[in-house]
Chain A
Amino acid sequence: MQFSKVSGKKNDHKVTLFALSTCVWCKLTKQFLNENDVSYEFVDVDLLDEEEKEKARQAITSKGGSLSYPTTIVDDKVVITGFRKDKLKEALGV
Chain B
Amino acid sequence: MTTLEQVRKRAEADAKTYGYYLTPQPELLQGFLEGLKINEDRYGYPLCPCRLTSGKFEYDRDIICPCDYRDPDVAEYGACYCRLYVNKEVYESKNLPEVPERRPLEKQGRAYGIDAAKQAPPQGTQEKPPTPAPATTQAEKAKTEVKKKLWYCKQCGYVVFREDPPYICPICKAKKEMFAEVESKIEFNG
What separation, in Å, do the CA atoms of A78 and B32 have in the docked complex? 28
Tell which of A22, A57, A84 touches B35, judged by Cβ atoms closer than 8 Å.
Answer: A22
Contact B50 A25 (CB under 8 A): yes
What separation, in Å, do the CA atoms of A82 and B108 have in the docked complex? 16
Please tell me if B18 contacts chain A, counting CB pairs below 8 Å: no
Please tell me if A94 contacts chain B, counting CB pairs below 8 Å: no
Tell which of A24, A25, A46, A84 touches B52, judged by Cβ atoms closer than 8 Å.
Answer: A46
Q: Mark A39-77, 1 if CB is under 8 A from B, else 0.
A: 000000110001001100100000000111100000000
Contact B49 A24 (CB under 8 A): yes
Contacts of B53 in A (CB 8 A): 46
Please tell me if B188 contacts chain A, counting CB pairs below 8 Å: no
Contact B111 A24 (CB under 8 A): no
Contact A67 B113 (CB under 8 A): no
What separation, in Å, do the CA atoms of A12 and B112 have in the docked complex? 32
Contact B52 A69 (CB under 8 A): yes
Please tell me if B157 contacts chain A, counting CB pairs below 8 Å: no
- How many chain A residues touch B (CB < 8 A): the figure is 19
Contacts of A53 in B (CB 8 A): 52, 111-113
Q: Knowing A50-B113, A54-B112, A54-B113, say if A67 contacts B35 (CB, 8 Å).
A: no
B79 to chain A, nearest CB (A): 12
Contact B31 A27 (CB under 8 A): yes
What separation, in Å, do the CA atoms of A55 and B31 have in the docked complex? 28
What separation, in Å, do the CA atoms of A34 and B52 have in the docked complex? 24
Q: Knowing A66-B101, A67-B108, A82-B98, say if A23 contacts B113 (CB, 8 Å).
A: no
What separation, in Å, do the CA atoms of A42 and B1 have in the docked complex? 30
Tell which of B31, B50, B113 touches A69, judged by Cβ atoms closer than 8 Å.
Answer: B50
Contact B108 A22 (CB under 8 A): no
What separation, in Å, do the CA atoms of A68 and B101 have in the docked complex? 7
Q: Which of A8-33 contact B (CB under 8 A)?
A: 20-25, 27
Please tell me if B38 contacts chain A, counting CB pairs below 8 Å: yes
- Name which residue of chain B comes closest to A58, CB basis: B112
Contacts of B31 in A (CB 8 A): 24, 27
Q: Mark B44-78, 1 if CB is under 8 A from A, else 0.
A: 00000111110000000000000000000000000
The 6 closest A-B pairs by CB, nearest first: A24-B31, A22-B35, A22-B49, A57-B112, A67-B108, A23-B50
Interface residues, chain A, with chain B CB atoms under 8 Å away: 20-25, 27, 45-46, 50, 53-54, 57, 66-69, 82, 84
Q: List 6 A-B contacts (CB under 8 A).
A: A20-B51, A24-B31, A67-B105, A67-B108, A68-B101, A69-B50
